Amino acid sequence: MGEMNKLKEIVSQFIGEDANVEIKPLGKGHINDSYKVVSGDGEYVLQRINHHIFKNIHELQDNIRRVTEHIRKKLKEQGVTGIDRRVLTLIPTRERALYYRDATGDYWRVMDFIKESKSYDDINPELAYRAGMAFGDFQKMLADLPGEPLFETIPNFHNMEARLETFREAVKANKAGRLDEVAGLVKEIEDRAEEMCKAEKLHREGKLPKRINHCDTKVNNVLFDNDDQVLCVVDLDTVMPGYVLSDFGDFIRTGANTGAEDDKNLDNISVDLDIFEAYAKGYLKNAASFLSGVEIENLAFGAKLLTYMQTVRFFTDYIDGDTYYKIAYPEHNLVRTEAQFRLLQSLEENFEKMRQIVREAAAQ
Ligand code: GN1
Ligand code: MG
């Protein structure tokens, strides 16, 4: 069966047979494969869920069901109109399952395509402010999710201690024989290791709670409408318990970088403090009411932490021989590592300014 016929057969499991269905690749995630599906009765997103990374698809899809149902309920209570564009809608299979496993063992899901929406890879302060409000609202709406805690779809996903352990194992094993060329960078990572494990330490001391986090607060995971108003937050695979400083920090890492995540020209890279300030203001506008002093005091640290964590993750994958992230060329993970490290250095240089900005935003 050709690739397109295979995709059509998978789509038919969810929406039935449609000879004229159109399926085209969509987006540029590092993990899943996404397609836009246009059929006679609607537009959808089809995704192959990467089950090498998300090992329990059943629990993952159940998380997304709980999260989207809860948000939908909140939006209804608030009298919000056009709810179908304000929260993702999972389309079940004809057997009423939330995913489909094909004959080769791959896992698939279908969601409604959010019409007239767009995302940005680069933003301005106004959009950052709106995105900050959106992620603040997202955490707030989920703060009273009833029932069991959400499943950790990737165990220890934003746990720095665990990430460093994996990094050190990779260094020891030196599987791809790449260690000689990167020894200087290994030292830079180790020099900061203790500081960067501060969140886990605070948590053990009972000073930093876990809440429901998005855990992939990239700029392009916020959808905007044609008037640049926020529609909703997407990419819910990693919604799980975590520290709010992680979500704050990952947005700054991706949204307040004047360069690209994999910029080859390190001179392009620095923290954009206007974006930082706008995001902090928007986020705290919606989140200040439920955050503790310790959580607020550590938001700026979160920007350093998530950038450091991403440096370690790309670096680990490079040392391992590129087994996790999709790469476009052989040195890609090293380029990403160096670019993230440069951003970290810029965050370090601007750290006191960032803390001051957060304090002022929280006082408003
Ligand atoms: C991955 O594929 P994407 O863009 O959704 C990764 C994030 C990283 C990011 C780095 C499940 O996200 O944690 O921050 O790449 N997602 C997973 O760009 O590992
Ligand atoms: Mg993602």
Q: Residue ranges of the domains in the chain?
A: 2-112, 125-363
Neighbours of 47 (CB within 10 A): 22
Q: How far is the CA of 111 from the centre of ligand 1 (A)?
A: 20
The helix (H) or strand (E) run that includes residue 39 is: strand 33-39
Which residue's CA is the closest to the ligand 1 atom numbered 19? 31
pLDDT at 13: 97
Ligand 1 pocket test target in 26, 28, 31 with most atoms within 8 Å of CB: 31
Give yes or no for residue 73 CB within 6 A of ligand 1.
no
310 CB less than 6 Å from ligand 1? yes
Per-residue model confidence (pLDDT) at position 125:
98
Decide: 53 in ligand 1 pocket, CB within 6 A: yes
pLDDT for residue 1: 63
Query: Which one is the CATH code of 125-363: 3.90.1200.10, 3.50.50.60, 3.30.565.10, 3.30.420.40?
Result: 3.90.1200.10
Which of 218, 233, 305, 324 for a ligand 1 pocket mutation test, highest count of atoms within 8 Å of Cβ?
Answer: 218
Segments of the chain scoring below 70 in pLDDT = 1
Asked whether 31 lines ligand 1 (CB < 6 A), one says yes
- The CB of 30 under 6 Å from ligand 1? The reply is yes
Tell me the CA–centroid distance for residue 46 and ligand 2, in Å.
Answer: 15
Q: For position 2, what pLDDT does the model report?
A: 82
Average pLDDT of the chain to the nearest whole number: 96
The fourth-level CATH superfamily of domain 2-112 is Phosphorylase Kinase; domain 1 (3.30.200.20)
**Where do we find the tokens 């999972």?**
90
The structure's pTM equals 0.95
Polymer length of the chain? 364
Exposed, middle or buried, 306 (CB in 10 Å: 0-12/13-18/19+)?
buried
